[in-house]
């Protein structure tokens, strides 16, 4: 789906840019940029699941960056009993080295009864379900908004003790700029802005 590919490319450019900033901050090169993203298709029962993921750096701990992995999965349709299988295949796709958290954004039409408790997949499978087989810009805005809120909460947790300094202050500054960029992505007029890599 073109709109998901475009969102993936935007997040990929952002992740590479952020990792270069972390590299400068640490004063040493990162091991391998190829472990920061992937785009793959796999068989899933009688369908194909398309999984795209990127790792956004959060905080540097003990000389290594920690990551928040954003995983975009789509398939033509899915059934409620298949959520665990979708989750398992999506998680197996991404490199979980130094990943301290992740979210799977699932796009595809749910066949069957829609559970009124929408947060159940989020709590149990860390999966944000967008029940559509035709994603729109509004779905992308929701995804960017979710990522932005997650990173804002991470910054608040790290800074709740008061004054921060050193590498934590550098990480907080970088993450605040990233959340500002994600807010820009939520604005329809600014959706096509370029990310400097």
User: Predicted confidence band at 9 (pLDDT cuts at 50, 70, 90)?
Assistant: very high
pLDDT 10s digits, 36-66: 999 999 999 899 999 999 999 999 888 888 9
Q: What are the Cα distances from residue 80, in Å, to 131, 186, 190?
A: 11, 30, 36
In sequence order, the 6+-apart residues with CB closer than 8 A to the CB of 125 are: 83, 84, 87, 104
Among 103, 52, 109, smallest CA distance to 80 is for 109
Q: What's the pLDDT at 195?
A: 41
Q: Any idea how long the chain is?
A: 197
Pairwise pLDDT comparison (117 vs 134), residue with the higher score: 134
Pairing between β-strand 99-111 and β-strand 127-130 as defined by DSSP bridges: parallel
pLDDT 10s digits, 60-87: 888 888 999 999 999 999 987 898 999 9
pTM, to two decimals: 0.88
Residue 10 scores a pLDDT above 90:
yes
Query: What are the two backbone dihedrals, phi and then psi, of residue 99, each rounded to the nearest 5 degrees?
Result: -85, 120
């Amino acid at each position: 789906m073109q709109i998901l590919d475009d969102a993936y490319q935007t997040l990929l450019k952002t992740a590479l840019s952020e990792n270069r900033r972390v590299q400068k901050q640490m004063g040493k090169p990162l091991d391998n940029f190829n472990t920061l993203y992937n785009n793959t298709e796999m068989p899933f029962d009688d369908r194909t699941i398309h999984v795209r993921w990127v790792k956004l750096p959060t905080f540097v701990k003990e000389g290594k960056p920690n990551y928040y992995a954003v995983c975009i999965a789509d398939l033509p349709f899915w059934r409620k009993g298949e959520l665990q299988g979708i989750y398992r295949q999506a998680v197996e796709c991404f490199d979980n080295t130094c990943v301290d958290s992740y979210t799977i954004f699932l796009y595809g039409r749910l066949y069957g009864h829609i559970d009124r408790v929408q947060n159940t997949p989020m709590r149990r499978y860390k999966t944000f379900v967008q029940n559509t087989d035709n994603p729109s810009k509004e779905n992308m805005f929701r995804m960017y908004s979710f990522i932005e809120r997650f990173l804002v909460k991470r910054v608040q947790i790290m800074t709740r003790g008061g004054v921060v300094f050193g590498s934590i202050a550098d990480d907080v500054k970088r993450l605040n700029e990233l959340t500002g960029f994600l807010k820009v992505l939520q604005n329809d007029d600014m959706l096509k802005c370029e990310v400097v890599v």
